[in-house]
Amino acid sequence: MGQKDISVRGGRELEGREQSHDLFIRPAVDIFETDEGLTLMADLPGVGKEDLNVDIEQGLLTVQAKAKTNLHAEPRQREFLPGHFYRQFQLAEIFDAERISAEMKNGVLTLHVPKSEAAKPRHIEITAS
């Protein structure tokens, strides 16, 4: 995977968004590549499927989520702060945006970003005359 295949947007752990006064947490994301495409795994603790949005527009893949706690009590000590997660990735044209799939399990969002058929490696048959 080259630098032009996917670029990560935003470099700070907490970043303010212009349209809101909320702070956004930049979730940790692991990116794996195969001949078939990319797999992105984002750590989103405390996020349920109903509080998660994944969008793609003009090659820009955006993940937004809101973490919640189910406790209705006053905390004595707090080390995990529920908040808003935000992350963007610019995808190269070799990826098929129409076939991106996502699954959420145990606080980890897994995105499968397939390569277009034309971008996949293939064997070229040689003929003899």
**CB under 8 Å to 89, separation ≥6 — which residues?**
6, 7, 8, 9, 40, 60, 61
pLDDT at res. 108:
97
- Structural domain contains residue 1: no
- Does 127 map to a domain? no
Contacts of 34 (CB under 8 A, 6+ apart): none
Domain that holds residue 42: 6-71+79-119
Q: What is the CATH number of the domain that holds 37?
A: 2.60.40.790
Number of H helices, E strands in the chain: 0, 10
Taking the chain (129 residues) in runs of 10, the rounded mean pLDDT of each run is: 61 46 83 94 93 95 88 78 88 94 96 88 86
Domain count, the chain: 1
Residue showing tokens 């670029």: 7
Tokens (6 digits) for 32: 């794996």
126 lies in a domain? Answer: no
This prediction's pTM: 0.74
| Structural domain contains residue 129 | no
124 lies in some domain: no
Q: Are 26 and 17 in contact (CB under 8 A)?
A: no
